[in-house]
């Protein structure tokens, strides 16, 4: 059974809301990362405790990027093997 125009609009609104939420989350993550990088640039003005906390945050971000890259690599491998 085909969807009515109203049902299609409602479905598209849900898709758009999900897409916007993902986009905004990525923008926020990028802003957080930029703020940390700016803090790292002025690290000589930070106390030892603040530098340690900043280093921990940067390490956490690096690990998340590494995990994400491994996940994307596994997906790419699946895509390649399923094509043959």
Residue 45 DSSP one-character state: G
Count how many residues are written for the chain: 84
Backbone region of residue 3 per phi and psi (left: phi > 0; alpha: psi in -120 to 50; beta: other values): beta
Contact 20, 27 (CB under 8 A): no
3-state helix, strand, coil in the chain (%, to 5): 90, 0, 10
Contact 54, 46 (CB under 8 A): yes
Query: What pTM was computed for the model?
Result: 0.53
pLDDT at residue 40, rounded to an integer? 83
C-alpha 6/C-alpha 8 separation (Å) is: 5
5-36 per-position pLDDT tens digit: 999 999 999 999 998 988 887 777 777 778 88
């Amino acid at each position: 059974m085909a969807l009515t125009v109203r049902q299609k609009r409602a479905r598209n609104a849900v898709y758009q809301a999900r897409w916007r939420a993902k986009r905004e989350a990525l923008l926020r993550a990028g802003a957080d990362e930029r703020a940390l990088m700016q803090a790292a640039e002025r690290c000589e003005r930070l106390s030892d405790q603040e530098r340690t906390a900043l280093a921990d945050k940067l390490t956490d971000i690096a690990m998340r990027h590494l995990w994400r890259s491994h996940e994307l690599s596994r997906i790419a491998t699946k895509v390649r093997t399923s094509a043959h």
